Amino acid sequence: MYDMLCKGCGHRTAMSIIDRIIKEYGIKEKTIVFLDVACCSLLMDDIEYDDVMCPHGRVLDVSRGYKMLRKDKVVISYMGDGAAYAIGIEEMIHSARENFDIFAIVINNGLYSMTGGQFAPTFTGIDRKNIDSDKSELNFDKVLKIENLLKSFNINYLARCALTDKENIDFSYECIKKQMDIYMRKGGFCLTELISPCPTNYKMTIKENIDLIDENIKQVYKIGEFIVK
Amino acid sequence: MKKILNGNEAFAMGALSAGVNFFAGYPITPSTDVYEFFMKEHDKYGVKFISATSEISAINLCFGASVAGGRALTATSGCGFSLMQEAISYMASDFVPCVILNVMREGAGLGDINRSQGDIFQMTKGGGNGDYHSIVLSCSSVRDCIDMPEIAFMLAEKYRTPVIVTYDSDIAHIKENVEIKEIKTHNIDSNFALVGSKDNPKRIQNIYYHDKNYDETLKNKYEMIEKNEMRYRSYKTDDADIVFVAISICERICMEAVNVLRSMGIKAGIITPITLYPFPKVAFNNLKEDTKIVVVELNILKQLRMDVEYFTKFKYKYYSINHMSKCPTVKEIVEYVKEI
């Protein structure tokens, strides 16, 4: 399953969690997945639901247009951090401002991975070169933290999890399940961000990348539920 | 029922008669009346309306609504239309229908809100990246504005492609007394809509990814469009020595010039391409060999003339009356024709 992805890629874990939740809810027949381009698009032939490949960064708009005409469908907006927080930040802000019915999953690895690991606005500055050195000089304030941006809006769910070890993946499952519950019950803007390894572009083994997230990146990005309504 | 409407209002009424389900837009002069119409009237007619936060957002909302099976419409002008190109290119490659109204405004960049026909290159030759064309329909009267949305949605769904309707700001703001048509509702459960699947999921993605014969598919699509969808109007061209080619407001002026010239004994006629893409080359089939073709248009680069020359294989003598945004007068045209 999901063979086109690199070894250790977080997309595989994330999509498996979503698969499991959709199966549990029995909503496969009314689920449409809106995918962003780049690494997300590597899922497009493997996922078991109807899917649409959207222009880069426009997943939330395309999903909204769809949802406005078909309220009864489960619309999953699936994107990376580049789409969600760089090129598509406008859509993110306005969808949240209107608390529109959105079920968004953001895979955050801090990099533009498909093109070779260039830095996204979510990059913490911690990588292979400085992993063991003093990080006091890194400017973590420049990192885009979505909870700071969206807390002023009346949204229904916001959480951040990490796709690292079993404990964290179980927590991701709990969060996305709760997100689905809120989305199905009362709609509104629901987003879970998943901190994901990208061993290919961090140029590490899977284990090293997971340790990097657990020991360093999690200090910048707080894990947990920020808004639950 | 008859009503006095301007071109933009008529276009909105026409879209209702064509069963539009969804409108997303961002206001920009001279297309704003369409946006305002839907803002005020959407509840009354059961149309989903959303005030988008940019043109990029507007066209992508339409993309989503089209994927849902709806008849989606957006209206824009000038730089707003440029912002939409990425999504239009996506829709062309994904075989998603949509109708976009582009009320042309003057100049490049910001330009100005005056009348112009400067977007012809952009609309007919692509505008976005890659190997595609959008069907482009032009309107010359408020009557056309009422009728065109229905044709546009029909073509968009027949060929699963974005269709652009265009006119200049004179047609947008001219008021005429027109018969309005019955309002229709469109059922969104069409054959291309994504609704979720038990097995064999449907995918809306670039044709290059899922069609092994995409060369053939694309070739066939555009060949069929070019073969079947050429539309034009012609007036007194059978015996004409002088043939005007003009769209939108220029057609109206040339029409009068033809009558004036005929009264003076000069055999003039006019051809109006309704589809700018596919260009109606058949309209020129029965012209006399020594016909002089005068292209009257509102842009400096002679954008319409370039198509006329190419599709008539450069075999006539060509002349241009073109200004950036100042309408030529009937007198000016008649004087010019007398010179040649």
User: At the topology level of CATH, where does B232-339 sit?
Assistant: Rossmann fold (3.40.50)
Straight-line distance from the first to the last Cα atom of chain A, in angstroms, rounded to the nearest whole number:
34
| Chain A contact probe: residue of B51, B63, B199 with most A CBs at under 10 A | B63
**Residues of chain A contacting B209 with CB distance shorter than 8 Å:** 44-45, 53
- For residue B196, the chain A residues in CB contact (below 8 A) are 28-32, 49-50, 73-74
B138: tokens are: 């032009």
Shortest CB distance from B196 goes to which of A30, A53, A61?
A30
Q: Which of B237, B259, B240 is nearest to B330 (CA)?
A: B259
Which stretches within chain A are classed as H helix? 10-25, 59-69, 81, 89-97, 146-150, 166-186, 199-202, 206-212, 218-220
Token pair 């990080």 in the structure block, residue: A135
Domains B2-228 and B232-339 share a fold: yes
Q: With an 8 Å Cβ cutoff, are A48 and B54 in contact?
A: no
pLDDT in tens, A175-191: 999 999 999 999 999 99
Report whether B291 contacts B266 (CB < 8 A): no
Question: Please, are residues B116 and B127 in contact by the beta-carbon 8 Å criterion?
Answer: no
CATH (one of 3.30.300.30, 3.40.50.970, 3.30.2320.30, 3.30.420.40) for B2-228? 3.40.50.970
Residue B126 confidence (pLDDT): 83
- The whole-angstrom separation of Cα B121 and Cα A128 is 49
For residue A176, the domain's CATH number is 3.40.50.970
Question: Collapsing DSSP states into helix, strand and coil, what is residue B101?
Answer: strand
Eight-class DSSP state of B183:
P
The backbone torsions φ and ψ at residue A158, rounded to the nearest 5 degrees and listed phi first, read: -150, 125
Its sign, for the CA torsion A4, A10, A16, A22, is negative
Residue A27, domain member (yes or no): yes
Contact B62 A65 (CB under 8 A): yes
Contact between A53 and B22 using a beta-carbon 8 Å cutoff: no
For residue B316, the 8-state DSSP code is S
Q: Is A28 on the interface with B (CB under 8 A)?
A: yes
* B180 contacts B1 by C-beta, under 8 angstroms: yes
**Cβ neighbours of A96 in B, within 8 Å:** none
User: How close A68 gets to chain B, by Cα (Å)?
Assistant: 7
Average pLDDT over residues B253-269: 96
Distance CA A111, CA A208 (A): 17
Residues whose CB is less than 8 angstroms from the CB of residue B85 and which lie 6 or more positions away in sequence, other chains included: B122, B127, B128, B129
Contacts of A25 in chain B (CB under 8 A): none
Residue A2 covered by a domain: no
Q: Name the token pair of B162.
A: 């974005």
CB neighbour class for B289 (10 Å; exposed up to 12, middle 13-18, buried from 19) = exposed
Q: What's chain A's Rg over C-alpha atoms? A: 16
Residue in chain B closest to A59 (alpha carbons) equals B60
Which residues does A193 contact at the CB level (< 8 Å), separation at least 6? A81, A106, A108, A146, A159, A160, A161
Q: Does A69 touch chain B (CB under 8 A)?
A: yes
Q: Are strands B98-104 and B72-76 parallel, antiparallel or unpaired?
A: parallel
How many domains are contained in chain A? Answer: 1
Nearest-CA distance B91 → chain A (Å):
9
State the DSSP H helix or E strand holding residue B334, giving kind and residue range, or none if neither: helix B330-339
Q: How many residues does chain B have?
A: 340
Q: What is the pLDDT of residues B6-23, one digit of tens each?
A: 999 999 999 999 999 999
Domain that holds residue A151: 10-228
How many helices (H) and strands (E) would you count in chain A? 9, 9
Mean of the per-residue pLDDT values for chain B?
94
Q: How far is B112 from chain A (nearest CA, A)?
A: 27
What tens digit of pLDDT does each residue of B304-316 get? 999 999 999 999 9
- For chain A, the farthest-separated pair of C-alpha atoms sits apart, in whole angstroms, at 53
Q: Contact at 8 Å (CB) between B176 and B142?
A: yes
Number of A/B CB contacts below 8 angstroms equals: 125
Distance from the A228 Cα atom to the nearest Cα atom in chain B, whole angstroms: 27
Interface test with B, best of A48, A61, A95 (most B CBs within 10 A): A61
The β-bridge partners of B245 are B271, B295
8 A C-beta contact, residue B298 and residue B323: yes
Mean pLDDT, chain A, whole residue set: 92
**pLDDT > 90: what percent of chain A?**
79
**Residue whose token pair is 């370039």:** B306
Question: B84 touching A, CB under 8 A?
Answer: no
Q: What is the pLDDT of residue B12?
A: 96
Looking at residue B160, what is its pLDDT?
Answer: 95
Contacts of A67 in chain B (CB under 8 A): 64
What are the phi and psi torsion angles at A159 (to 5°)? -145, 160
Domain locations in chain B as residue ranges: 2-228, 232-339
pLDDT higher than threshold 80 for residue A131: no
Q: What is the pLDDT of residues A137-161, one digit of tens each?
A: 666 778 899 999 999 999 999 999 9
Calpha distance A138→A59 (Å, rounded) = 32
From chain B, pick out residues whose CB is under 8 angstroms from the CB of A32. Answer: 194-196
Give the C-alpha separation, A144 to A148, whole Å: 8
Evaluate whether B169 touches B105 at the Cβ level (below 8 Å).
Answer: yes
CA A75, CA B332: separation in Å to the nearest integer?
A: 59
Of B52, B196, B205, the CB nearest to A53: B205
Q: Is B203's CB within 8 Å of A63's CB?
A: no
pLDDT digits (tens, 9 = 90+) for B161-206: 999 999 999 999 999 999 999 999 999 998 889 999 988 899 998 8
The amino acid at B58: A
Nearest residue in chain B measured CA to CA from A70: B68
Inter-chain residue contact B57 with A94, CB threshold 8 Å: yes
**CA–CA dist A192, A179 (Å, integer):** 8
